[in-house]
């Protein structure tokens, strides 16, 4: 194998360059590390004190290292760009492609043969998978796992979801400000990522459904010793992956994405998974479209009773049988040929799975919803498509006609939404624009706009909301999101006026602005709308706005689509 190891291109030989590459790396490593027989495995590590959900990944990395050593490899910690969903502004999504690009380049530039990807918080696993797909080196993911369930006043608290719920209660004056603040440290009480079925949990499970995680690992809580055990195993596997030359392009196919979409529906996963999966597929050259999500996912039953769509949290899912118990129920919908990182099909791993608590994971015969997938809407307001997650919506609003109340930016929204004079009622449709990939920039999670205070006080708990932004995976409501094209890219969303009639028909998959085409063609965006769009002058934001694609193709940068492979053509000196 010696001549085949990529790292040997740096380390083998007696010339000055090989000397330089080896000498600085020695630091106690034995000669055998450079003899061309031991794979050098990077651990792409998103541990960071500013990504609290991933802060424990250094400990996970130690277990991965032990496994790599044990299997004869050389483990190398590689800190990569990390994104703390709750910390970075204006939105972590603005940096997902930057993290992916930086990671891709560092994996290619360095003398490594394979990589273990350590992620957790929302954008980290998608960015790592995009990078791995584009550099196409053997790669395996370790999801850092969800945090422990928090409790407050005797009840479980779900990260994210309960923040939205409790803050609405404060606004409706059914919860005191003081009690709201007391819940803060009860909600986040251990290492790990959000424990609801938000984007982090979703992407961990979806990464396993894709085949990029050692089967049975995803969903293991961050505090669970079995996470370290599986991390050790993953380290061993990474060495074997290099020997087998199992790169992303060799086993990820459209069938892998089919399984990811089935899983996404059955778990009631986050709408954010749609843009992430589209972006990952784009890196692999796999023809995945928005409509695939509707076609493949539409009739998949919802089997997982987790917040935000349901009641429980990730600890409960694990106790109730875990992700494989869910997949076993929908086994007939999975593609039997899709392989995992081990070289065996995903469906091979499901035989021993059992449901131990059918209130958390419901059997196929009694699903929480018979059809759970994310619906793709089209129509005169969203010619390129828009999404809605029916599982998180109110059934009575899935077919609705109402008059628009339009906001040009999130600042405009907050300035006016609680104004007692605002002309709005429960049938109104709240429209927020300027929140797409280009407009904000970065497509933030603002689509689940809070309801007007005066309507909350009347007991209104949901309204139809429409936005070109995203929604947190932990949020809920009848929210139409990812409207494409976004207002800042010339979409008709820019032309909606307060008072226009809008009709939503989820079953018919329609979203229409009831304005005659001639009248719409004669309208121009008003100045306030244009003022709401970002106009960055330099730096990453400038690059991003100039090159970002729309939500229907995954919000990647146009020049990052596809793969360049692992080859580096020139020496460094
Ligand atoms: Fe990191 Fe929710 S904030 S997963
Ligand atoms: Mg989130």
Provide the CATH number for the domain around residue 412: 3.50.30.80
Residues near ligand 1 with C-beta < 6 Å? 53, 85-86, 121-122, 159-160, 193-194, 198, 200
Atom number of ligand 1 nearest to Cα 51 = 1
By CB neighbour count within 10 A (0-12 exposed, 13-18 middle, 19+ buried), where does 408 fall?
buried
pLDDT at 572: 85
From 93, 198, 471, 473, give the residue whose CB has the most ligand 1 atoms within 8 Å, as the site to mutate.
198
pLDDT at 291: 96
Same domain, yes or no: 51 and 170: no
Q: Where are the beta strands (DSSP E) in 111-166?
A: 114-119, 139-143, 150-152, 155-157
Q: Does 504 map to a domain?
A: yes
CA distances from 410 to 47, 196, 427, 445 (A): 31, 25, 21, 11
pLDDT at 474: 81
* Residue 185 Cα to ligand 1 middle (Å): 15
The residue whose C-alpha atom lies closest to atom 2 belonging to ligand 1 is 194
Q: Does 23 map to a domain?
A: no
pLDDT at 240: 98
pLDDT at 382: 98
Same domain, yes or no: 199 and 80: yes
Atom number of ligand 1 nearest to Cα 86 = 3
pLDDT at 250: 98
Q: Does 488 map to a domain?
A: yes
Q: Does 236 map to a domain?
A: yes
d(CA 424, CA 499): 10
By CB neighbour count within 10 A (0-12 exposed, 13-18 middle, 19+ buried), where does 69 fall?
middle
Atom number of ligand 1 nearest to Cα 200 = 4
Atom number of ligand 1 nearest to Cα 85 = 3
Q: How many domains does the chain have?
A: 3
| Vertex 522: Cα angle to 519 and 526 (nearest 5) | 110
Per DSSP, helices labelled H in 245-289 are 248-251, 254-266, 272-284
Residues of the chain with pLDDT under 50: 1-3
| Domain enclosing residue 317, as ranges | 39-147+193-349
* Residue 315 Cα to ligand 1 middle (Å): 16
pLDDT at 225: 97
* Residue 498 Cα to ligand 2 middle (Å): 30
* Residue 516 Cα to ligand 2 middle (Å): 38
Same domain, yes or no: 409 and 489: yes
Q: Does 357 map to a domain?
A: no
From 47, 122, 204, give the residue whose CB has the most ligand 1 atoms within 8 Å, as the site to mutate.
122
* Residue 21 Cα to ligand 1 middle (Å): 38
Same domain, yes or no: 143 and 163: no
Same domain, yes or no: 166 and 117: no
The residue whose C-alpha atom lies closest to atom 1 belonging to ligand 1 is 121
From 91, 193, 475, give the residue whose CB has the most ligand 1 atoms within 8 Å, as the site to mutate.
193
Same domain, yes or no: 321 and 455: no
Q: How many CA atoms lie within 13 Å of 406's alpha carbon, on the beta-carbon side? A: 23
pLDDT at 563: 97
Same domain, yes or no: 263 and 283: yes
Q: Could you report the predicted ipTM of this complex, rounded to two decimals?
A: 0.92
CA distances from 405 to 164, 430, 458, 513, 550 (A): 22, 5, 19, 13, 24
Same domain, yes or no: 82 and 219: yes
Same domain, yes or no: 269 and 164: no
CA distances from 245 to 6, 69, 195 (A): 11, 19, 35
d(CA 337, CA 565): 25
* Residue 91 Cα to ligand 2 middle (Å): 10
Q: Does 563 map to a domain?
A: no
Same domain, yes or no: 116 and 170: no
* Residue 200 Cα to ligand 1 middle (Å): 6
Q: Does 54 map to a domain?
A: yes
Q: Where are the beta strands (DSSP E) in 322-363?
A: none
| Vertex 455: Cα angle to 156 and 436 (nearest 5) | 75
Q: Does 98 map to a domain?
A: yes
pLDDT at 1: 44
The model carries a pTM of 0.97
Atom number of ligand 1 nearest to Cα 159 = 2
Same domain, yes or no: 399 and 517: yes
* Residue 69 Cα to ligand 1 middle (Å): 31
DSSP structure string for 441-454:
TS--B--SPPPPHH
Atom number of ligand 1 nearest to Cα 52 = 1
Cβ 425 vs Cβ 390: under 8 Å: no
The residue behind tokens 């708990």 is: 461
CA distances from 63 to 336, 444, 497 (A): 32, 35, 57
Same domain, yes or no: 419 and 465: yes
pLDDT at 232: 98
């Amino acid at each position: 194998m010696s001549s085949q190891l990529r790292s040997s291109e740096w380390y083998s030989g007696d010339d000055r360059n090989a000397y330089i590459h080896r000498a600085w790396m020695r630091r106690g490593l034995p000669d055998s590390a450079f003899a061309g027989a031991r794979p050098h495995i990077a651990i792409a590590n998103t541990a960071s004190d500013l990504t609290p959900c991933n802060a424990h990944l250094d400990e996970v990395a130690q277990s991965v290292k032990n496994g790599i050593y044990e299997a004869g490899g050389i483990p190398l910690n590689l800190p990569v760009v990390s994104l703390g969903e709750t910390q970075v502004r204006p939105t972590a999504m603005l940096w997902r492609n930057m993290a992916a690009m930086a990671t891709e380049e560092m994996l290619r530039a360095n003398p490594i043969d394979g990589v273990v990807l350590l992620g957790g918080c929302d954008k980290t696993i998608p960015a790592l998978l995009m990078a791995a797909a584009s550099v196409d080196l053997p790669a395996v993911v370790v999801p850092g796992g969800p945090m422990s369930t928090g409790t407050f006043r005797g009840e479980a608290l779900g990260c994210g979801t309960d923040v939205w719920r409790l803050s609405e209660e404060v606004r409706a004056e059914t919860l005191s400000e003081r009690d709201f603040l007391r819940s803060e440290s009860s909600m986040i009480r251990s290492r790990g990522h959000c424990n609801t079925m938000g984007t982090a949990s979703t992407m961990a499970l979806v990464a396993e459904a894709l085949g990029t995680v050692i089967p049975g690992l995803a969903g293991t809580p961050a505090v669970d010793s079995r996470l370290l055990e599986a991390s050790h195993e993953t380290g061993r596997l990474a060495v074997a992956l290099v020997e087998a030359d199992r790169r992303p392009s060799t086993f990820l196919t459209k069938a892998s994405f089919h399984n990811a979409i089935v899983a996404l529906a059955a778990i009631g996963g986050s709408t954010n998974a749609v843009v992430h999966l589209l972006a990952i597929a784009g890196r692999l050259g796999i023809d995945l479209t928005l409509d695939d999500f509707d076609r493949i996912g539409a009739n998949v039953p919802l089997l997982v009773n987790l917040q935000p769509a349901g009641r429980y949290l990730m600890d409960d899912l694990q106790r109730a049988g875990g992700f494989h118990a869910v997949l076993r129920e929908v086994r007939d919908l999975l593609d039997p040929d899709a392989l995992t990182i081990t070289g065996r099909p995903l469906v091979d791993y499901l035989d021993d799975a059992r449901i131990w608590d059918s209130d958390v994971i419901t059997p196929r015969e009694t699903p929480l919803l018979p059809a759970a997938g994310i619906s793709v809407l089209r129509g005169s307001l969203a010619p390129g498509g828009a999404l809605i997650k029916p599982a998180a919506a109110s059934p009575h609003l899935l077919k609705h006609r109402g008059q628009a109340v339009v906001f040009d930016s999130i600042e405009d929204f907050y300035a006016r939404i609680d104004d007692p004079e605002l002309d709005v009622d429960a049938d109104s449709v709240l429209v927020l624009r300027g929140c797409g990939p280009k407009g904000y920039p970065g497509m933030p999670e603002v689509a689940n706009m809070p309801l007007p205070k005066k309507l909350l006080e009347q007991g209104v708990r949901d309204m139809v909301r429409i936005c070109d932004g995203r929604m947190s995976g932990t949020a809920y409501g009848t929210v139409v999101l990812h409207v494409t094209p976004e207002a800042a890219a010339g979409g008709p969303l820019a032309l909606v006026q307060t008072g226009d009639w809008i009709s939503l028909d989820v079953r018919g998959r329609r979203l229409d602005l009831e304005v005659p085409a001639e009248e719409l063609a004669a309208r121009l965006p008003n100045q306030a709308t244009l003022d709401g769009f970002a106009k960055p002058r330099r730096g990453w934001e400038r690059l991003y706005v100039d090159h970002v694609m729309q939500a229907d193709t995954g919000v990647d940068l146009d020049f990052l689509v596809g793969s360049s492979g692992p080859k580096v053509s020139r020496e460094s000196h």
